[in-house]
């Protein structure tokens, strides 16, 4: 059997960004393709960080409803009690204005300290709102949430939308969304299935890379992102092995 | 006093435990007081029995998933092999999910002037019609009284087809084992496909007695292997369909609802689906969206991104609200497949036809083995599987399964490369073919011939 590796993101063996520094905001992005749904990774974030009890998690998804998210993102039985809130955004795809969406869904959040937002597929808004550009999606939605409501944001996106051959307005918006996402994030997680298809003991690969926004000055004590590539194997629901 | 208690009892009829609590609490009181709530209790009991029944009601053609994780119910797509190979984690389509079948168009066929993606829709519609036919079959079973062995109510299915180009009269009927002669006109649809070529090959094959013997041997061993795979046919779950025959009597509006595309909008279609679901509060809904967003059928007004998004989003919400009785099948061609469709589907299946060279090769080799009916038409890839991929499990299956359309409909099997027949032998065969072609016409029909030979080969073996 392969040796099981721990997930490390920073060189100080932490997974989530530092919460004690109130000035410090960060953005994680998880990119995946069809067939590798990475909620197990979010579960690792939530459960395996040594100080995860200090964070307040908010789970929002445009594609899966609350029932599903509650079933899949939850704390392990043995870990300290976590603060997880679920906000259903599936009907947000019927909304017509971004500011309204924030007002109705996130109105109750007043302080952003220690709050982590797990946001799934915000890029779908590009399709659902007529004429929305990726720039205004960032400015009016993601950045706004980041500035006012949440200290850290984890964006989960399906990169099947990413396309080099741009032939429509919407495709252009999607592509720029993914490009700028990689520049704006501190850490980029890429989850891929095996190109060769099904294998008995490997589900896919996870690579961790530094994103464009990571500023070493922000991190005291020379904390760096440990760039790495793992194989992962999903043993059972939410039981995932990482190895080299 | 007693009157009040009776009221209380009626108010809490849904909960017998609390009833008992009340009556036990009352127990210390006078006899008259004790009796009155029990009378009150009898009334709700009568009302309660149907409530219990609705919970026990089983929708026909639905069974628990093969996988051990509890709570997943599955229904058939209309083909036993697809249920068992493609949906092998479940043994059928999980109820409450959307299945997307993408057909990769055959761009390699250059001599055909028609755009292939507009004309090669037969694979998709075969499986779609089988999907609807299974629903129809279960619905008709539910109305038959002889199958209700116990008192529980049997619930059927309701098919919804969005698109007027699907001819409801062409829904395949259930296979009848007595060999009924089918008219040649039925074959017209498939004339372009390989099937017609196959029948020629079949005829040529009959007179090659030597080749036959080898062929039959191979056939026997192959059959044995198939037997080991044991795809059980369970008529309670999936009927054996005959895609050349049509269901009789034809489907009515109550059985299969057809929604028109022309002169309609996605919003209206959505409303119509919603209405149909609320009108049939118990039935399993089989929604079939054939050739979704194909410009051949859908007018220009349908292609606005935000409308499609709202439609799919609404559909998904509707599905999660009725997740115990709603299955959707969408077929489309990859050229139009926008990633949106994939995001909103739980299962993604890709049909990738072989190019002509491969088909020629397969035909040649299977012919020399005496198995012309085995020639596959393409690869079937699975990129996402409902209730499996969502939990992060690996369910991608590439280049493992092949499909072809046979008399019993859409059939899949595991892919194996046939034994290569040598070139020399092949040339000989061809010569013999030509020589014997004329004589072959007088020989008895294929089925009979087949059985005779299997006897012979068995005799030879023992």
* CATH, residue B407: 3.40.50.300
| Same domain? B51 vs B67 | no
| Same domain? B24 vs B130 | no
pLDDT class for B134, splitting at 50, 70, 90? confident
| Same domain? B40 vs B92 | no
pLDDT at residue A122, as a whole number = 86
* Range 1-30 of A in CB contact (< 8 A) with B: none
DSSP 8-state class, residue A244: -
Nearest-CA distance B459 → chain A (Å): 43
Least confident of B245-249, B358-362, B455-459: B455-459
Phi, psi torsion values for B397, nearest 5 degrees: -125, 110
Best A31, A34, A237 residue to mutate vs chain B (most B CBs within 10 Å):
A34
pLDDT > 60? residue A239: yes
| Same domain? B253 vs B355 | yes
Our CA dihedral for B199, B202, B207, B213, rounded to 10 degrees, sits at: -170
In a domain, B459, yes or no: no
Q: Which of B339, B396, B397 sits opposite A161 (nearest CB)?
A: B339
Residue B297 is part of which domain span?
Answer: 62-414
pLDDT tens per residue, range B178-202 = 544 333 333 333 333 444 444 444 4
Cα–Cα dist B97/B83, whole Å: 14
Among residues B460, B459, B458, which one has the least CA distance to residue B220? B458
Q: Read out DSSP for B28-52? A: TS-HHHHHHHHHHHHHHHHHHHHHH
| Same domain? B219 vs B340 | yes
Q: Read out DSSP for A150-182? A: -SEEEEEEEGGG--SS--SHHHHHHHHHHHHHH
Peptide bond into B249 cis (omega under 30): yes
* pLDDT, average across residues B131-144: 80
H runs (alpha helix) in B230-265 = none
pLDDT at residue A117, as a whole number = 87
Interface confidence (ipTM) of the complex: 0.84
User: CA B410, B412, B416, B419 torsion: positive or negative?
Assistant: negative
Q: Which of B314, B339, B391 sits opposite A237 (nearest CB)?
A: B391
Q: Read out DSSP for B80-135? A: HHIIIIITTTTTSEETT-EEEEEE---TT--S--S-HHHH--HHHHHHHHHHHHHH
Q: With an 8 Å Cβ cutoff, are B389 and A37 in contact?
A: yes
Cα–Cα dist B452/B213, whole Å: 11
| Same domain? B330 vs B348 | yes
pLDDT at residue B374, as a whole number = 74
Task: Give the residue with greater pLDDT, A91 vs B210.
Answer: A91
pLDDT > 70? residue B65: yes
| Same domain? B216 vs B141 | yes
Give CA separation, B355 vs A152, B265, B332, in Å.
51, 37, 20
pLDDT at residue B19, as a whole number = 41
* pLDDT, average across residues A10-21: 74
Q: Which of A90, A198, A237 sits opposite B397 (nearest CB)?
A: A198
Best A67, A122, A128 residue to mutate vs chain B (most B CBs within 10 Å):
A128
In a domain, B458, yes or no: no
Task: From the options 2.70.180.20, 3.30.70.860, 3.40.50.300, 1.20.1250.30, give the CATH code of A26-243.
Answer: 3.40.50.300
| Same domain? B48 vs B75 | no
Least confident of A43-57, B233-247, B253-267, B328-342: B233-247
Mean pLDDT is highest, among A50-59, A188-197, B308-317, B393-402, for B308-317
Cα–Cα dist B369/B421, whole Å: 8
Each domain of chain A, given as residue ranges in start order, spans: 26-243
A127 Cβ contact list (under 8 Å, min separation 6): A170, B305, B306, B308, B309, B340
pLDDT class for B231, splitting at 50, 70, 90? low
Helices (H) and strands (E) in chain A, counts: 7, 9
Nearest-CA distance A198 → chain B (Å): 6
* Averaged pLDDT score across all residues of chain B: 65
Q: With an 8 Å Cβ cutoff, are A197 and B314 in contact?
A: no
**Domain end among B414, B441, B457:** B414
Least confident of B180-189, B289-298, B403-412: B180-189
Ranges of beta strands (E only) in A89-223 are 115-120, 152-158, 187-193, 204-210
Phi, psi torsion values for B118, nearest 5 degrees: -85, -20
| Same domain? B116 vs B22 | no
| Same domain? B46 vs B192 | no
Cα–Cα dist A214/A26, whole Å: 8
**Domain end among B397, B414, B431:** B414
Q: Read out DSSP for B161-188? A: EE-TTS-GGGSEEE--SS-PPPPGGGGG
Q: Which of A127, A130, A234 sits opposite B393 (nearest CB)?
A: A234
Q: On the CB side of B247, how many CA atoms lie within 13 Å of its CA?
A: 27
| Same domain? B46 vs B67 | no
B contacts of A90 (beta carbons < 8 Å): 313, 316-317
| Same domain? B242 vs B268 | yes
Q: Which of A40, A64, A158 sits opposite B392 (nearest CB)?
A: A40
Nearest-CA distance B314 → chain A (Å): 8
By the 8 A CB rule, do B79 and B127 touch?
yes
Here the tokens at position B265 are: 């909008």
Q: What percentage of chain B reaches a pLDDT higher than 70? A: 56
Here the tokens at position B285 are: 């809904």
Q: Read out DSSP for A7-62? A: P--BTTS-SSPPSS-TT--EEEEEEE-TT--THHHHHHHHHHSTTGGG-EEEEEES
Nearest-CA distance A42 → chain B (Å): 11
What total of structural domains would you count in chain B?
2
């Amino acid at each position: 059997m392969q040796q099981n590796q721990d997930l490390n993101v920073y060189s100080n063996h932490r997974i989530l960004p530092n919460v004690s520094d109130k000035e410090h905001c960060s953005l994680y992005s998880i990119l995946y393709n069809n067939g590798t749904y990475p909620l197990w990774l979010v579960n690792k974030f939530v459960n395996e960080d040594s100080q995860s009890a200090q964070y307040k998690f908010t789970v929002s998804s445009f594609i899966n409803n609350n029932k599903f998210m509650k079933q899949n993102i939850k704390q392990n039985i043995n870990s300290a009690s976590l603060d997880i809130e679920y906000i259903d955004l599936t009907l947000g795809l019927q909304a017509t204005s971004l500011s309204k969406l924030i007002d109705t869904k996130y109105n109750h959040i007043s302080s952003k300290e220690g709050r982590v937002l797990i946001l799934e597929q915000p890029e779908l808004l590009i399709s659902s709102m007529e004429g929305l550009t990726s720039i205004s999606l960032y400015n009016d939605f993601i950045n706004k949430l980041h500035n006012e409501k949440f200290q850290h944001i984890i964006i989960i996106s399906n990169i099947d939308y990413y396309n080099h051959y741009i032939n429509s307005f919407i495709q252009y918006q999607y592509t720029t969304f993914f490009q700028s996402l990689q520049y704006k994030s501190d850490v980029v997680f890429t989850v891929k299935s095996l190109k060769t298809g099904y294998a008995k003991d490997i589900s896919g690969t996870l690579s961790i890379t530094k994103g464009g926004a990571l500023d070493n000055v922000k991190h005291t004590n020379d904390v760096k992102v440990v760039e790495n590539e793992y194989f992962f194997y999903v043993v059972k629901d939410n039981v995932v092995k990482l190895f080299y | 006093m007693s009157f009040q208690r009776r009221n209380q009892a009626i108010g809490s009829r849904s909960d017998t435990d609390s009833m008992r609590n009340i009556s036990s609490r009352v127990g210390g009181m006078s006899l008259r007081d004790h009796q009155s709530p029990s009378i009150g209790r009898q009334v709700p009991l009568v009302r309660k029995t149907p409530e219990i029944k609705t919970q026990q009601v089983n929708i026909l053609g639905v069974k628990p998933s093969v996988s051990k994780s509890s709570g997943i119910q599955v229904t058939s797509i209309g083909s036993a092999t697809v249920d068992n190979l493609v949906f092998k984690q479940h043994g059928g389509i999980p109820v409450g999910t959307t299945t997307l079948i993408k057909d990769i168009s055959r761009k390699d066929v250059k001599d055909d002037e028609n755009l292939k993606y507009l004309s090669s829709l037969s694979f998709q519609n075969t499986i779609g019609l089988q999907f609807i036919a299974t629903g129809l079959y279960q619905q008709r079973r539910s109305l038959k009284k002889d199958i209700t062995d116990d008192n529980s109510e049997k619930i059927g299915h309701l098919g919804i087809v969005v698109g007027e180009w699907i001819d409801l009269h062409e829904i395949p009927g259930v296979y009848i084992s007595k060999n009924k002669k089918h008219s040649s006109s039925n074959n017209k649809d498939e004339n372009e496909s390989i099937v017609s070529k196959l029948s020629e090959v079949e005829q040529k094959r009959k007179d090659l007695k030597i080749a036959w013997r080898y062929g039959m041997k191979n056939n026997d061993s192959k059959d044995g292997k198939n037997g080991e795979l044991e795809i059980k046919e369970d008529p309670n779950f999936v009927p054996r369909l005959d895609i050349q025959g049509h269901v009789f009597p034809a489907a009515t509006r109550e059985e299969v609802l057809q929604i028109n595309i022309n002169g309609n909008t996605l919003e209206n279609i959505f409303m119509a689906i919603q209405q149909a679901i609320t009108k049939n509060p118990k039935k399993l809904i089989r929604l079939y969206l054939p050739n979704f967003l194909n410009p051949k059928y859908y007018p220009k007004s349908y292609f606005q991104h935000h409308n499609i998004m709202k439609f799919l989003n609404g559909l998904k919400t509707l599905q999660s609200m009725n997740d115990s009785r709603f299955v959707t099948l969408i077929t489309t061609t990859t050229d139009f497949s926008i990633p949106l469709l994939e995001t909103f589907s739980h299962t993604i299946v890709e049909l990738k036809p072989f190019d002509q060279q491969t088909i020629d090769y397969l035909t040649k080799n299977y012919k020399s083995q005496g198995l012309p009916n085995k020639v596959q038409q393409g690869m079937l890839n699975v990129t996402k599987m409902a209730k499996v991929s969502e939990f992060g499990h690996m369910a991608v299956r590439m280049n493992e399964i092949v499909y072809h359309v046979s008399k019993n409909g859409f059939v899949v099997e595991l892919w194996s490369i046939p034994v290569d027949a040598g070139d020399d032998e092949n040339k000989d065969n061809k010569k013999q073919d030509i020589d014997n072609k004329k004589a072959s016409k007088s020989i008895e029909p294929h089925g009979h011939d087949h059985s005779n030979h299997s006897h012979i080969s068995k005799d030879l073996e023992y």
